[in-house]
Structure 1
Amino acid sequence: MKNKKISILYVDDEENNLFSFKATFRLKYKVFTAISGAEAIELVKNNPIDIIITDQRMPEMTGVEFLEEVIKIDAAPMRILLTGYADMAAVVDAVNKGKIFHYLNKPWSEKELDETIQRAYEVYTERQKIIETNAQLETSNDQLEFMLRQKLLS
């Protein structure tokens, strides 16, 4: 997993922000961009995404609404919310409904955003390991239960 490029989906209704993000991070990460929540949902359905970064203020679907929809499709990606407004209600919704990992103000600083992506990916990989371990434990438990039943029946 060390050599794998982190896949990031950046969602923003301002095309210049999409170009800027892609230009800044395309060499370091596998970058997907979407200009709307609906477009982003299709990308999540069809691509493995590790981290989602979304703007809050978008027409048709806010960042929080988009993240709520994403969770129904795939709860694994880490979620980061960006907004140019100090809208506390949106931040509270993002934490409670969109289950975000981190909240950043726009305009974002490359260094701060990159550090946040790195921290989010560390948490993401740890969560994936825990999920894998739990699946292995469930399998072992099922096997032991089966063996115990066989023993009791014989």
Structure 2
Amino acid sequence: MTAGPNPFGVSITVDDIIENLGFFDSWEDRYRYIIDLGRELPDMPAELRSDDRLVRGCQSQVWIDVAEAAAGDKNHLQLSVDSDAFIVKGLLAVVLAAFNNKTPADILAFDINAYFEELGLMRHLSPTRGNGLQAMVARIREEAARR
């Protein structure tokens, strides 16, 4: 079982998020935008919110499910995510813009830290949120490396 189609990484891209965040002058407004992105995530089916999908190292509860889907001659990873915290769901949406519906090789090659730097994200997160964000990224990259 997987969640429904996810616009992140397809119709909502890294470039869209970089451009849209650039419109806001304050980080308060940027946080609101990130939270709104999280509200656009499709619901994760309850049966996917299991212990084996729970990401360790996050302050909030975070679940990540990774499924493979054939696209032409390559497999792409489709990600389904959820969290019990609004801001974390938004951060997951930011990550999905970079990783969802990409090949494992594309995920591993993408410079996520440069992306976060361009957004100014890590400078504006608490250390525990920043560590949690890195744990989410590590989990997805580990799944990509296995495929």
Question: Structure 1 length normalisation: TM-score?
Answer: 0.26
Relative contact order higher in (CA < 8 Å, ≥ 6 apart): 2
Question: Structure 2 length normalisation: TM-score?
Answer: 0.27
